[in-house]
């Protein structure tokens, strides 16, 4: 297994760490474990750490399907998500670009401390509004 998903109760976050060469299939399995924790706890902060990982170059169709899956997941859309990797780390540009275009939001960090500090500054689950509610509020402000 090239990943580990843990619940960090003191920080109220799900910590996903990848190791070695990681495929989209493994990222999907890690996502399933993360979603189970989100369902059971109501946590809405996720740290996704690629610092010790290399991402496999999966077929574009596979990456596109995964990007759609993460971007359309209602639980993830309610979360604050930090990607962590070394300076110059490419993460997975294809998935990041496709998922961002589909409305998935996450922030990149090149050190774990900054990512965790940012996540800690974000509201807890009860304070996070659904994306649709935020969009309605924004559209009302333009009228």
Q: Where are the domains of the chain?
A: 3-141
What is the tally of helices (H) and strands (E) in the chain? 6, 5
Which of 58, 50, 57 lies closest to 82, judged by CA?
50
89: number of Cβ within 10 Å: 16
User: pLDDT, tens digit, for every residue of 6-24?
Assistant: 999 999 999 999 999 999 9
User: pLDDT, tens digit, for every residue of 95-114?
Assistant: 666 556 556 667 888 899 99
Distance separating alpha carbons of residues 21 and 85, to the nearest angstrom: 14
What per-residue confidence (pLDDT) applies to 30? 97
Higher pLDDT, residue 82 or 140: 82
Confidence of residue 71 (pLDDT cuts 50, 70, 90): confident
Which residues face 48 on adjacent strands? 16, 83
Contact present, 94 and 63 (Cβ < 8 Å): yes
Which class is domain 3-141? alpha beta
Distance separating alpha carbons of residues 42 and 140, to the nearest angstrom: 28
CA 139 to chain centre: 26
Question: Quick check: 135 pLDDT over 70?
Answer: no
What per-residue confidence (pLDDT) applies to 28? 95
User: pLDDT, tens digit, for every residue of 45-55?
Assistant: 999 999 898 88
What per-residue confidence (pLDDT) applies to 27? 93
């Amino acid at each position: 297994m090239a990943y580990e998903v843990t619940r960090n109760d003191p920080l109220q976050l799900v910590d996903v760490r990848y190791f070695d060469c990681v495929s989209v299939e493994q990222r999907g399995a890690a996502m399933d474990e993360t979603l189970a924790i989100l369902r059971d706890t109501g946590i809405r902060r996720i740290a996704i750490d690629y610092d010790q990982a290399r991402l496999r170059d999966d077929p574009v169709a596979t990456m596109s399907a995964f990007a759609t899956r993460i971007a359309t997941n209602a639980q993830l859309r309610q979360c604050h998500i930090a990607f962590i990797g070394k300076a110059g780390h490419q993460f997975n540009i294809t998935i990041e670009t496709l998922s961002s275009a589909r409305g998935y939001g996450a922030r990149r960090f090149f050190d774990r401390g900054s990512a965790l500090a940012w996540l800690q500054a974000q509201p807890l689950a009860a304070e996070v509004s659904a994306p649709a509610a935020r969009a309605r509020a924004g559209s009302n402000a333009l009228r």
